[in-house]
Every structure is written in structure tokens, then in C-alpha cells.
Structure 1
Amino acid sequence: MQELQADGLDLKGIVRAGDTILWGQACGEPQTLTEALMAQRAGLGGVNVFLGSGFSSTLKPEYADHLRFVGIGAAGTHRRLTKAGVLDVLPCHVSKMEGYVTDGVIPCDIAFVQVAPADENGHYSLGLISDYIRAAVRRARVVVAEVNARVPQVPCAEPLTAADIDYVIHTDRALVELAPAAITDLDRAIAGFAQGYIPERATLQVGIGAVPEAVMANLRNHRDLSIHSGMLGDSAADLVECGAVTNAYKEIDPGVMVTGALIGTRRLYDFCHRNKGVRMHPLSHTHNIAMLSRLSRFISLNSAIEVDLTGQVNAESINGQYLGAVGGQVDYVRAATASVGGRSMIALPSTAQNGAVSRIVMSLSGPVTTARSDADVIVTEYGAADLRGKPLSQRMKAMIAIAHPAQRENLERAAHAAAKEVA
């Protein structure tokens, strides 16, 4: 392991023309390394970058002059890259990504990682992200680690050691943070209907956004909940501290809150620092359908751009504009519906653009992310449509009932016309 100085870091001796660089996504971005790459891009001879989600201001569309961006979608600040047409989107279930990196399907010549300072055992905690980054470290020709003094030493299933690292720089800089989304009355209304599907002793998976925040806020009076989720936000710490989450009744990892990403603020990071009740795992543990389905009462809550009357879910793009990602939605939908007592919810507001556009639609304006054959419960501020076991005619009625009242007549007409065409 060779130590380099963060100031004046020169990547020319590390990065080769044509290399693909992969780094920790979301709040785990090693910003000193990524900023150096952006600043030095013109002299590196053409480099490929593979991206997960992003919440920093590091990447800009104009950097595509010397970099080729490939990634999983428009999550966070990477939406500006898809909007500019410079991010080549890989539609991929999150559960596949670790294997793709391991097998070289997603190339990785250079891995940039952000880690916590070494502990008393010489272990470097991955800190804020552990999804497919460990696989990238194993696959990469060169591993460059940014040891940031502010990264929490979160317990990891497989931390790094000095033997994993080729080059190291030491920094002490603010971490990427994502504050909890502001909760509106509309979000609370959606959460109120979703709450009815979350029993005591449930194991939760929730995504990012105001609706998940509202749902978590509603669960403070629940008891013996558990969390096994691809990501944790600040609200997870709140539920542990108020006694709602104990992780006591999980069939897998009892007593431990499992995640692959910390996406929150310093409050969450400090809560997870050396906390034996939290453990970071790779995707093969956080998104493994066979494993997750062994958890009883596994409840999955995810969002969508739009849902059609038959239960098809679009979480990716609309009218050719990429706004989201495949993500882990299907992994969790299938795991929850295979779990004994489990339920899968897709929650979304009934309209967009101040009520002008219905998000409950006759036909999707983009791809099918989750098939109607996997649909379980769809929730809006007007109720919950339980689609299990319902034929198409009953599904359409249930979906129209949770659409915005001003949109229901148009949807009924469209459904009627579609039925006549089939007949």
C-alpha cells in the first residue's frame, strides 16, 4: 500500500487510457478522488466511468468531453447527466450488479473507495456504502482508497485491509449528506393507507423519499420491527431509539439492522459508528430474493413514476426522459410476495404537475419496471388497491378508485374503450 498526498494528486501514473473506473456510490463517494478525476480528465487519454446513484455536485454533463458515463439510471444528481444525454443507462436489477462486477460483465479496472480510518484490528470499514464496492475491489487492477477521518466505522461483513489497497490518500472532509425529504399532508395521506399493511414484528425495506419518511414516522408506536434494506436513512435511527425497531424477531441476522448503504445525515452516521446493532453487507445479502423470502412479514415499500390500470409499474422514464432506475424494486417486490405474511407496496401520489397529469394511467409512457404479474398493493393518497388474485377487470376498477377524482372519468372511458377493442 503506497501512500499518496491528497494535495497535488496525479492520476496519470495510475489510470490508463481506456480504463473503466468504478467508485462507491451515493453518500459513499470518495470526493477527493472523483474531483481529481474530473479535473485531470483531459490528460488521461479517454476513460470510462460506471455510476450508481449520486448526491454530490461532482459530475457535470460537460465532463463527457473526455469521459464516457455508463450507469444504472437517473438517481439523485445524476439526473442532469441523463437529461443532457451523456449517461448511457444500463437497465439492471440491483441484485445482479455484484455478480456483473465479479464476472467482468461490468468492467472495473480502477476502484475508488472511501473508507474509515483503520480500527484496532487494521480493518478499514467501508463506512457508507458496501453494495458492490467489495466486488469492485476484488476485480480491479488498482484500488485507490480515500481514508476520510469523518467516515464512521460501521461494522461490515467484509471490511478492507491494507492488502486490498494499492494506493491510499488521507483526508478530513465533509461527507456527502442527504437530508430527509420534507413530509407534506399528501405524503401523510399515502403513508396512512400504507401503514395498514405493516404488522407488528414486520421486517422493513424502504427507499428514499417523502412517502417512506412519512411511513417511518407513523411507525413509532409499533413494536419489535426489524430492518433489512438496501439503504438506511435517518428515520431508521429514530425508530431504533424510540424502541419501535429491535430486530429481535428476524429469522436472518437477529438483533442486527442490515443494509448496504447509509443515505442520510451526520445524525445517521454517528448513530451507526461502531454500533454492533448495524451491519453493512453486499448486494448478495441485501437484495438476495431467496434469502429475503425467508424473513417472515417482510414488507417492501417502493415508489414509481406511474402505474397502469393492470398493475404494471414504470419507475424509470417517461416520454423518453430517464428519471429513475430499475433499482432494487423487483428484487424486493418478489421477495416480499414470497415471504410468509409479507407484502409489497408501490406508493405514489395520484397526480403530477399540480394535478394536471394522472400517475394512474391506462397505458405507461415508459418501460415496465415491475410486471403486473408481480403486482401486490398500489397506494396513493386516495387509498390502497390490493391486486392480489384479481383479474384484469377487477384490477382496473381498484386502480381507478385510487386515482385522483378528477381523472377517474377519463380512466373509466379509456378502460371501457380498451375492453370493447378486446371484445
Structure 2
Amino acid sequence: MATQLTPDTLDLAAWLRPGDRIIMGQACGEPSTLLDALIAQGPSVPALSLFIATSFSGAFKPEAAASFALSSMGAIGQLRAMTKGGHLNVIPCHVSQVGPLIAAGVIGCDVAMVQVSPADANGNHSCGLISDHVRAAVAKARVVIAEVNEAVPFTFGEVIHTSEIDVAVHCDRAPVEVSAAPISQTDAAIARHCAAFIGDGSVIQTGVGAVPDAILRLLADRKDLGVHSGMLGDGLADLVEAGVINNARKEIDTGVSINGALIGTKRLYDFAHRNPAIRMSATSHTHDAAVLGQLSRLVSINSAIEVDLTGQVNAEASGSAYLGGTGGQVDFVRAGARSPGGHSLIALSATAKGGSLSKIVPALSGPVTTARSEVDVIVTEFGAAQLKGRSLAERAKALVAIAHPDFRETLDREAHAIAQRGF
């Protein structure tokens, strides 16, 4: 039987041990009340460590997180600020690997801190806004501390039974929200090129942000779109309500949008509450190669920091600055590129730093997130370069054509050198 507490009566020292490894729910499923308690009470328990995949709450600041070692799969969301000064340890791994790594004990989990909805009549708490590796953490943890939040929607899919919870901390607090980013002319141009690859009956995977939002706004005239994604924002609700997304042509999960994280505003959360047309699933379903391999017309849309002239993608770092993460990019790049009638799109603006730096480059300044052998289509505001099945020389020429005009002459010389070498 879970111990029932309120935020005022929660004493973490009664449940935590020195050296405990904590895994916390991420994104808009971040348990803010539990995080506040950890920041305030953590110094009383030595040598704590915390893994969180992403964060948008703004709570993670170097001074606040000084009492525990922080790790993540990348500097995603507001964790980016924690990389400066070495306050974040990055574990490079695909999203699909996080759950198995927890289950195997490679990413340690002594304590799971999660946010859930109030229980239904059967004692099941919905995982609410995030369902990726939550169940894996709950299954592995010695102690499960759940923030039972009245404001969290009950979404269908992954659930946690009351009997699996050791400590239930009851609250009524607005979950973390991520508002839509403003869409620039560049974002809109990239979106137009991406939308051209999405036809009737396509199954879409995308993230959140200005470009994904801009793409979704261009799909109002499509028919029978489906969703199988790791995350989605408010645009999902708009297209479902418009009848554009109905998942009618999907070979699996017909009629249901499959998703792992709802990252948006109260509008999205209210829409998802007890909505049978949305199922929140673990990464063992959202990102699994065998599952994705059953979908035709899958169009995956991901982002990058830079792309070199052979098609290698860096979505993690620029020089010494760690800016992103591996995420689920490779999982979905492979799936989209191999899906019959589908595509994998990597979308990025052609320049950075006010136009002074090209994102199409001769050589990457950071790690290779996605190998050139996996890449299908690269999109900038200047067009789409289809790389799959093309030689290195052909790739370089196609990528020069979608670079910013100010950099094409220099890049063309590099492309010529590739053509001369043949590799």
C-alpha cells in the first residue's frame, strides 16, 4: 500500500539512500513537485545522481542541481544550459535504447520519480504526458515515488497500478507546457519542401518546434494521415479535429495515433484526456524497428545542426558546445528510408549565426549522429536533396544546390574534390 503524502509532508530522506541513482520522468511529464523537493532536500542525502532525458521546466540550473550528479541522453530542451561548465554528463544513446539500458542496470535506477494521473476505478494511474521508458524505470526501482497530479490527463496506453507505487505525493499543479515557437520565413520555406513528401495516407513522425508546426499547418488538404511518433505537439489536435489525421490506412494500430510524449499546452492535454484515438506507448513500440517495419508510407522528419557534403548528419554538437542529442533520430531515419512509399527527411536551415555560417559543410565540426549510409533526404529552405542511392559525388552536388548561395562557390570546390577522388 502506497504511503499517501502531500508536497508539504514529503521527506525524501526517509526514502532515499546515499548514492541512490534516480530516474525522473521527462519533458512535459516531468514531476515538478518531486523535482522541487529533490533540489531543496537533496543536500541531506549524499552522492545522489539523476538521469532525465529532456527538460523544459527551467528548474535545472547549476546552483539548483549542485547536490546531485546530472546525466542525460543529450542537451535537449533547457538542459542545454547545464552543459556549460560541465554540469551535465551526456550518455550518447538512441531513445530506443534507454528502456533496455535501464532494465539491464547499465543506466542505474534505484529510485523512480514519475508524474501520473489520478487512478481510475481499477487502481490504474495513467502515465499521462510521457510514456517512453517510465515503465522500465518503475519495474527496476527499489522505490517508486509518484507525483499524483490532478491536472494530468488520463491518456490511454501505459499505466502504473497503485500497488506498484511506494510513495504517492498528491498535488494539483499545471504540468510543464511548451508553447509553439514563432514560425519564421525560413521555417515556412523548409516546411513547404518537407510537406511535398507527405501524401494522402502517409504516416508521420516528427518532433516539436517551429518547422514541425509549420509542416503540420500545410497538411490540411491531405486525407487519411496517420501518426506513429515519439513526440507530438498541439498541431496533432488541430489535424485530428479537422479529420486529416484518422490513421485509417495504417497496417497496424489502425484508427489510433501512436505517440510517446505529448509536448505542448493545456489545449493538447485536454484534447488527449480519455481520448481513445490517442495511445501513449513505450519506446519498445514507438521506436522499435520490427514495429516500424510494418508501416508503409512512413515519413519521418528530424533536425540537424549541420550536414557534410557526403550526407553525414550531426545533431549533437557544434565545436565545443553540446546543443542537442542522439534522440530517436536514427531509429526513425532507418524506418522512414526503408518504408515502402515512405521517406526520411532531415530538415535544417541553410545557415547559422545570422547567416555568417553555413550548415552544409565540407566536414562536420561535431560527432556523426546519423551515418551517410542511412540518410535519405536533406531539406533546407532552398530545396530538398535526395541522397539515397546516389554516389558521393552526386550527393555533394545535390547538397551544394540547397546550401545558401553565399557559400555555394566554396562548397562547390569541395564537391569537385570529392568528385575527383570518387569518395
Alignment of 1:31-180 (within 5 A): 31-156=32-157, 158-180=158-180
After TM superposition, give the deviation of residue 414 of structure 1 in Å: 2.6
SS at match of 2:147: strand
Conserved 8 A contact 1:73-1:82: no
Alignment of 1:10-49 (within 5 A): 10-49=11-50
CA deviation profile, 1:158-178 (whole Å, cap 9, x unmatched): 311111100111101111000
Between 1:257-266 and 1:116-125, the stretch displaced more is: 116-125
Distance 2:253 2:419 in 1: 49
After TM superposition, give the deviation of residue 419 of structure 1 in Å: 5.2
Between 1:4-13 and 1:368-377, the stretch displaced more is: 4-13
Conserved 8 A contact 1:234-1:264: yes
Distance 2:420 2:108 in 1: 50
In the alignment, residue 136 of structure 1 is paired with which amino acid? A
Conserved 8 A contact 2:5-2:169: yes
After TM superposition, give the deviation of residue 181 of structure 1 in Å: 1.4
In the alignment, residue 56 of structure 1 is paired with which amino acid? S
Conserved 8 A contact 1:20-1:110: yes
After TM superposition, give the deviation of residue 86 of structure 1 in Å: 1.0
| Matching residue of 1:374 | 374
How many residues were matched structurally?
Answer: 422
Distance 2:293 2:385 in 1: 23
Which structure 1 segments of 5+ residues have no match? none
After TM superposition, give the deviation of residue 185 of structure 1 in Å: 1.4
After TM superposition, give the deviation of residue 422 of structure 1 in Å: 7.2
Conserved 8 A contact 2:393-2:422: no
| Matching residue of 1:337 | 337
Distance 2:109 2:253 in 1: 31
After TM superposition, give the deviation of residue 123 of structure 1 in Å: 1.2
Distance 2:217 2:376 in 1: 23
After TM superposition, give the deviation of residue 268 of structure 1 in Å: 0.3
TM-score, normalization: structure 2? Answer: 0.98
SS at match of 1:160: strand
Distance 1:171 1:84 in 2: 34
Distance 1:75 1:241 in 2: 30
CA deviation profile, 1:15-69 (whole Å, cap 9, x unmatched): 1110011111000011111110011121111200011000002111124532111
Distance 1:178 1:101 in 2: 27
Conserved 8 A contact 1:290-1:335: no
CA deviation profile, 1:213-237 (whole Å, cap 9, x unmatched): 1111000110100001001200001
| Matching residue of 1:185 | 185
Between 1:295-304 and 1:8-17, the stretch displaced more is: 8-17
Distance 2:176 2:65 in 1: 23
Distance 2:203 2:174 in 1: 32
Which structure 2 segments of 5+ residues have no match? none
Between 1:408-417 and 1:166-175, the stretch displaced more is: 408-417
| Matching residue of 2:384 | 384
| Matching residue of 2:326 | 326
Conserved 8 A contact 2:39-2:67: no
Conserved 8 A contact 2:317-2:367: yes
After TM superposition, give the deviation of residue 417 of structure 1 in Å: 4.3
Conserved 8 A contact 1:258-1:286: yes
Conserved 8 A contact 1:299-1:342: yes
SS at match of 1:373: coil
Distance 1:78 1:253 in 2: 33
Cα 1:420/1:336, change in 2 over 3 Å: closer
| Matching residue of 1:270 | 270
After TM superposition, give the deviation of residue 388 of structure 1 in Å: 1.4
Distance 1:110 1:21 in 2: 5
SS at match of 1:137: helix
After TM superposition, give the deviation of residue 421 of structure 1 in Å: 6.8
In the alignment, residue 172 of structure 1 is paired with which amino acid? D
TM-score, normalization: structure 1? Answer: 0.98
After TM superposition, give the deviation of residue 420 of structure 1 in Å: 5.5
| Matching residue of 2:216 | 216
Conserved 8 A contact 1:38-1:59: no
Q: Runs of at least 4 residues of structure 1 off by over 6 A?
A: none
Distance 1:296 1:419 in 2: 35
Conserved 8 A contact 1:27-1:177: yes
Distance 2:295 2:278 in 1: 17
Cα 1:418/1:247, change in 2 over 3 Å: closer
Distance 2:90 2:5 in 1: 33
SS at match of 1:299: strand
SS at match of 2:28: coil
Distance 1:109 1:35 in 2: 19
| Matching residue of 1:307 | 307
Distance 2:332 2:134 in 1: 21
SS at match of 2:63: helix
Conserved 8 A contact 1:313-1:371: yes
In the alignment, residue 315 of structure 1 is paired with which amino acid? A
Distance 1:421 1:396 in 2: 12
* Identical columns (%): 54
